[in-house]
Chain A
Amino acid sequence: MSISMIVFILLAIALIVILIAASQPPKRSEEPIENLFELLSRPSHCARISFIMRSLSPQDTAYLRKGKNRALRNTLRRQRRVIALHYLAELQEEFETLLEISRGLAVTAPEVVPLEELTRWRLSIQFAINCTILRWQLRFGLGPLHGFTTLSNMSIGMVRHLEAATSSIARDAIEEAEIADFERHEDGDD
C-alpha cells in the first residue's frame, strides 16, 4: 500500500466520522434570536466579583502558614478551589452566551467578514481548551498562572469582532434606509 492510498482512505474515513457527528440536529437555542439579545440585559455574575476576590485573598492562607495550622489551611485551599471552579464555569457560560449572540448576529447580518468569523471559531476552540486545562489545574491544585490571562485576551478579541460585525450591519442598514428614502422622494416628485 502506498502512502497516498492510505491518506485517501484515512481522509474518507475521517469524513464519514465527521459526517456522523455533524449531521446530528444542532443544539438549538431555546430563545429566538430577538430574545437572545435580551440575555445581555440580564444581571451578570460580575456583581459577585468582590466576593470572589475576597475568597481568593492571600492574607488568610499567609496567616495560617505562619500559625502552622496545616489542616485548616488545606481546608481553606480546597474551598477556594471549589469557588474558583464555580467561577470558571460561570465565565464559560457567559462566553457561550456571547458566542450565541455573535451567531445570531452572523445569521441576521447581510454581510459577515470571513477572517473575523474564522478568528472567532479559533477563539472559541482556544477558550474551550483553556477552560478545560484550567479546570483540571484547579482540580489537581496546580496554580493556573497564565491561563486566565489567555482567556482575558480572547475576550478582548471577541469585543473587537462583535464591534466590527455590528458596525457593518449598522452601515448597511443606514445605506438601505437612505436608498429607500431617496426612492420615496423620487416617487413623491413624480
Chain B
Amino acid sequence: MFASLHPLDIAWEVTSAIESVLLAGLLWRRTFLRYPVFTVYIVSTLLQSAAIAYLYQQSGLSRASTWAVAWGSQGVVSLMRALAIAELTRSLLERYPGIWKMARRILLWVGGSVLGYALLFSKDGYQWAIMNGVRGLELAMAAVIVTVLLFARYYRLPIHPLQRALAIGLCLYSAFYVIDYSLLERVLQQYAEFWNFLGITTFLASLLVWMWGVIRSASFEEIEKPIAIPPEAYRKLSAKVNLRLHLLNRQLTELQRAKDKQP
C-alpha cells in the first residue's frame, strides 16, 4: 500500500496522525485548560491539513485558487501560532508583575521591529505578500520566544518543562520555516516539493517536542508565585546594598591607586 505513496504524502499523514495524538494528549492531561489558544492552534493545523487535502483532490479548482486558499490558511495558522506564543509568554512571566510589565513593551518592540525589517526587505509583488508576511511573522515569533527565554534566564525564572517544550517547538519551527522559505524564494523553486517535505519534517519534530512536554507535564506541579517582601525589608535591604556597593567601590578606587603607584 505504501509503495504507491509519495514520501511527502507519507510525511503529511504521519504528521496529521501525531497532531491528533497531541490533541488527544492536551485534552486527556487537561492541558487545554492552561493553554487553550495553543490547543486551538493544533486544531487549526489539523483543519488546514484536511482542507488542503480536500482541495488537491478537487480537480475542478484552478491552480491559482488552490494556491490562494493554501497560503491563506497558512496565514491563519501563523496568526494562531502568534496568539499561542502570546499565551505562552503570559504564562511564563505574568506571575512577576514588574518583569511582565517591562517585558510586554520590549517584546512588542522586538516583534514589531523584526516583522518590519522582514517586510521591508522582502520580495515585491502582491503574489508574494502573504508568503512574505508569513515569513516576517515567523521570524518575529522566533525572536520573541528567544527574548522571553533570555529574560527567564537572566532573572533565573523557573520554567515548567511543558512551557520549555512549547517554546522550543514553536521557535524551532519558525526559524526553520524562515530558512526553508528564504532558500525557496529565489534559488530553489524547482525543488519546491523537497522543501515542502523539509517543512513538514520540521513541523513533525516540533510536534514530537510538544508531545514530550505534554507527557512530562503530569509529573510537575504548578510553579508558585514569588512571595513579595514587605516594604520594611526593602528599606533595610536598600541601605545594606548601598553600603556594600560603596565599600566595593572604595576598594576598587584604592586598588587602582595602588596599581598606579606601583613601580
Chain A interfacial positions (CB closer than 8 Å to B): 1-2, 4-5, 7-9, 11-13, 15-16, 18-19, 22-29, 33-34, 37, 40-41, 44, 46, 49, 52-53, 56-58, 61-62, 65, 80, 84, 87, 91, 94-95, 98, 100-101, 103, 105-114, 117, 121, 143-145, 147-149, 151-152, 155-156, 158-159, 162-163, 166-167, 169-170, 173-174, 177
Shortest distance from the beta carbon of A145 to any chain B beta carbon, whole Å:
6
Contact B153 A49 (CB under 8 A): no
Contact A1 B255 (CB under 8 A): no
Cα–Cα distance between A40 and B239 once the two chains are bound (Å) = 10
Q: In the complex, what residues of B have CB within 8 A of residue A33's CB?
A: 226-227, 229
Choose the segment among B6-14, B73-81, B141-149 that binds chain A (4+ C-beta atoms closer than 8 Å).
B141-149
Name the residue on B nearest A11 (C-beta). B139
Chain B interfacial positions (CB closer than 8 Å to A): 96-99, 101-102, 105-106, 118, 121-122, 135, 139, 142-143, 145-146, 149-150, 152-159, 164, 167-168, 171-172, 175-176, 178-179, 182-183, 185-187, 226-231, 233-235, 237-238, 240-242, 244-256, 258-263
Contact A56 B234 (CB under 8 A): no
Cα–Cα distance between A95 and B251 once the two chains are bound (Å) = 13
Cα–Cα distance between A98 and B155 once the two chains are bound (Å) = 13
Contact B234 A166 (CB under 8 A): yes
Knowing A1-B187, A19-B146, A173-B234 touch, does A108 contact B253 (C-beta < 8 A)?
Answer: no
Contact A18 B228 (CB under 8 A): no
Contact B145 A19 (CB under 8 A): yes
Contact B187 A28 (CB under 8 A): no
Q: In the complex, what residues of B have CB within 8 A of residue A117's CB?
A: 102
Contact B242 A22 (CB under 8 A): no
Knowing A15-B171, A94-B248, A110-B97 touch, does A170 contact B231 (C-beta < 8 A)?
Answer: yes
Name the residue on B nearest A172 (C-beta). B231
Q: In the complex, what residues of B have CB within 8 A of residue A13's CB?
A: 175, 179
9 contacts between A and B (CB under 8 A): A8-B118, A12-B182, A15-B139, A56-B262, A57-B258, A95-B248, A108-B227, A151-B252, A163-B238
Cα–Cα distance between A146 and B229 once the two chains are bound (Å) = 39
Contact A103 B97 (CB under 8 A): no
Number of interchain pairs (Cβ within 8 Å):
228
From A1, A26, A159, A177, give the contact of B153 (CB < 8 A): A26
Contact B251 A19 (CB under 8 A): no
Rank and list the top 3 A-B pairs by shortest CB-CB distance, nearest first: A173-B231, A148-B256, A166-B238
From B98, B255, B256, give the contact of A110 (CB < 8 A): B98
Knowing A56-B255, A56-B262, A166-B237 touch, does A23 contact B157 (C-beta < 8 A)?
Answer: no
Knowing A26-B152, A56-B259, A87-B255 touch, does A111 contact B238 (C-beta < 8 A)?
Answer: no
Contact A46 B154 (CB under 8 A): no
Contact A106 B98 (CB under 8 A): yes
Shortest distance from the beta carbon of A50 to any chain B beta carbon, whole Å:
10
Knowing A2-B186, A33-B229 touch, does A162 contact B242 (C-beta < 8 A)?
Answer: yes
Cα–Cα distance between A113 and B105 once the two chains are bound (Å) = 12
Name the residue on A nearest B149 (C-beta). A22
Contact B230 A22 (CB under 8 A): no
From A26, A91, A167, give the contact of B252 (CB < 8 A): A91
From B164, B231, B259, give the contact of A23 (CB < 8 A): B164
Contact A103 B154 (CB under 8 A): yes
From A5, A27, A34, give the contact of B185 (CB < 8 A): A5
Q: In the complex, what residues of A have CB within 8 A of residue B228's CB?
A: 108, 110
Q: In the complex, what residues of B have CB within 8 A of residue A100's CB?
A: 156
Most chain B CB neighbours (cut-off 10 Å) among A11, A87, A91, A110: A11
Most chain A CB neighbours (cut-off 10 Å) among B97, B167, B226, B237: B237
Known pairs A61-B262, A107-B156. 15 more at Cβ < 8 A? Answer: A1-B186, A9-B178, A15-B146, A19-B146, A23-B164, A26-B156, A40-B244, A58-B261, A103-B155, A109-B97, A114-B106, A156-B249, A166-B234, A166-B235, A166-B237
